Chains A and B, each alone.
Chain A
Amino acid sequence: MNKVWVSIWRENRLGTKAMAEKLIKDMGLSKAMANVFAARNITTAKEALSLTEFELMQLLDVGMAEVSSALSRISEIACPPYQTALNLMEQRVHKEDHGGHLPTGLKGLDEALCGGIPFGVLTELVGPPGIGKTQLCMKLSLLASLPTTYGGLNGHVIYIDVESKFSSKRMIEIGVQSFPDIFNMKGVVQEMAGRILVLRPTTLSKFTESLQQIKLSLLQRPVKLIVIDSIAAIMSGDFAQGASRQNLLGWHVSFIKSLAESSRIPIVVTNQVRSQTREEGSQYSFQAQRTDDLSGYDSHLVAALGINWAHSVTIRLVLEAKSGQRFIKLAKSPLSPPFAFPFIITSAGISLLNDYGTELKGMEINRIHQHGHSDIINFDGKGCSDKRRNPT
């Protein structure tokens, strides 16, 4: 089964990497040279560029000068076009809603992120269970489906709910509480909720299948947001550990990233935490320091899925609890300094307690706290009723 699967994703790669698979015979090489390449069964740019000049000389039996001129021609065709950064900027500003960002409705966070969750990249939410990752995901889904005049993107949403935690009732509650004026209009609830498509894949292969379907449906519908809740659950499911899992993860990461980029939509992915083992602490020097000066068990938490994954996400938001208070933290973002904002969860979803945030330094940026976390969950359970009456 594994083998079949591998061949499926191979084929799929070919689709996404059209440039690299461009045929040598269409590259305008001299007839003689093109024939030489064809005779040795080197048909694509990928094959030609995987060999060194000397290997090509040996294989094709031609001189150095011909090989290098052929290679430079192939390279010229296969290499991607350039844009100036100014072009990029203008495209974003003129063609996209809100300058290429999905506003989260959390003022401080939006300011720090230059307008919200950016289009075209992967944004990760990571935190201990029960902290509010799914709440934030549901709020973002609502926002993306709202009309543009209300700060939304007026689009469809694809919500991949791996752990069956999505609650339509809760989502509508958030909508009614945060945007009473639109949601009280007749038929709006049905229309908004009708734009959110929930998928519940149970195995990794089903997940992969749905990703591929999503790629097609992106062409048919105006999908403005994809949520995957949670990637860790699906990846740590039925598949083998170690190298082969990293390989699969690597493929999924590239696929998801290419989805985000080719259709210019934001993709929000949640990730779980796991406890860190001692051996890992010594593996990277930056973590070793962390284990030395730790003062409680809570700083043993790290994001799941490893360092490869961490490199691939463009923005990482950490949701954590510290001394009984929830914080949302910009742990990795090329756009903004590492701010932390205290937040609470009310019937209207997540809201920030203040919009200034505190700037973090050093080790604090990457730490994931769970201190006093159980208190909050219990407290929220009890205190829910009075919060419901005055949503902040």
Chain B
Amino acid sequence: MEVAGLPISPSQRGKLISAGYTTISSLTSLSPHHLARDLNIPEEEAVQILGAAASHNSRLDTSDGGHSIVNGAQTAWDMFREEQSSLRITTSCADFDNILGGGINCKEVTEIGGVPGIGKTQLGIQLAVNVQIPMGLGGLGAKAVYIDTEGSFMVERATQIAEASISDMLEYNNHLAKQNRVCQVKFKPSDILENIFYFRVCSYTEQMALINHLEKFISDHKDVKIVIVDSVTFHFRQDFEDLALRTRLLNGMALKLMNLAKTFNVAVIAGHIPAQIGSSCTGTRMSEMHT
């Protein structure tokens, strides 16, 4: 393994190579002090380099006893078990939920595509409300992040959906009460609206920044279980001459969204405008990455 693969700065890499450390294995038995002297760098930097090398090694090592042979890997059985127990958000449509295996999956990026006016935004708003159905009624009792790139989020419509959802919950509650399993529903539409965090994004830079920042935002607001981006590609379709840059940014963003979904166990919904024929292949690239 070459040192070129280590996540360290180019000047450090240069120093390593010129001092003769070309492979990672040549770094394994070194003390930081030794390395610092050889490379003529401060000891903290040497510690950092060795840390990078060590973490790189452990990824390939057959360490970590237990059942996993390669670190970070999972057996298919574990995956199956995990999928069985994973959190789902209902779409309010039983048949659709069945097809999806119980609803929109947390931990995954789900893409919604379609022609204008077909109802992408509606589904987005619906999910932002549905994620708040309390645990006692089979929901998640969580909060939602709504990222609006097109300005199409309508707070009036969100109120309507919230009202309808509350009356549904009350009805279900009456049904449960008959079986002596009472669950308190003391929701008002305003409570539901309060749990939707709305971000209005006006440029692709803001979008990139927000998606970077989401990690921090969600760690501060742990009860967020769904992130809705409506729509992912809107700003990337306006005035982009550098198509390579556009593809790179979109791919990077898709990876970040997937990572977010995995780490925080949130569902990510990406509303998406289908690519026009002849305009570019970004659409298909995005789609390939989504599950």
Contacts and interface: CB of A to CB of B under 8 A. Distances in A.
Interface in A253-300: 253-254, 257-258, 260-261, 283-284, 286
Contacts of B239: 13, 247, 250-251
A118 B154 contact: yes
A61 interface: yes
A84 B115 CA distance: 28
B212 A49 contact: yes
B43 interface: no
Contacts of B279: 243, 246
B238 A78 contact: no
Main DSSP-derived SS at the A contact region? helix
B202 A61 contact: no
Interface in B134-152: 145-146, 150-152
Most buried by B among A243, A332, A365, A366: A332
A19 interface: yes
Given A49-B212, A76-B213, A335 B157 contact: yes
Interface stretch (A103-111, A216-224, A308-316): A308-316
Given A83-B198, A84-B194, A75 B213 contact: yes
Interface string B182-222: 00000000100111111111110110111011011100000
B10 A61 contact: yes
B146 to A, nearest CB: 7
Interface stretch (A86-94, A182-190, A195-203): A86-94
Interface in A1-60: 13, 16-17, 19-20, 45-46, 49-50, 52, 54, 57-58, 60
A384 interface: no
B9 A72 contact: no
Contact of B209 (A79, A88, A258): A79
B195 to A, nearest CB: 7
Contacts of A58: 10
Contacts of A13: 239
Contact of A82 (B116, B152, B199): B199
Contact of A334 (B9, B10, B152, B237): B152
Interface stretch (B29-37, B72-80, B167-175, B245-253): B245-253
Contacts of A81: 199
B121 interface: yes
A250 B206 contact: no
A158 B209 CA distance: 36
A47 B258 CA distance: 24
A307 B154 contact: no
A58 B12 CA distance: 11
A113 B153 CA distance: 14
A51 to B, nearest CB: 9
Contacts of A75: 208-210, 212-213
Contacts of B85: none
B276 interface: yes
Contacts of A313: 116
B166 interface: no
B67 to A, nearest CB: 30
19 contacts: A17-B202, A45-B205, A46-B205, A49-B205, A50-B249, A72-B215, A74-B209, A76-B209, A80-B206, A82-B197, A85-B193, A88-B155, A92-B155, A114-B157, A121-B152, A307-B115, A308-B237, A310-B116, A333-B117
**Closest 10 interchain pairs by CB?**
A332-B117, A20-B205, A75-B212, A78-B209, A86-B193, A85-B196, A310-B116, A85-B193, A79-B209, A79-B210
Interface of A: 13, 16-17, 19-20, 45-46, 49-50, 52, 54, 57-58, 60-65, 71-72, 74-86, 88-89, 92, 114-115, 118, 120-121, 243, 246-247, 250-251, 253-254, 257-258, 260-261, 283-284, 286, 306-308, 310-314, 316, 331-335, 365-366
Given A50-B249, A79-B213, A85-B196, 12 more contacts: A57-B9, A61-B9, A72-B212, A79-B199, A82-B197, A83-B198, A84-B194, A84-B196, A121-B152, A253-B238, A310-B117, A334-B157
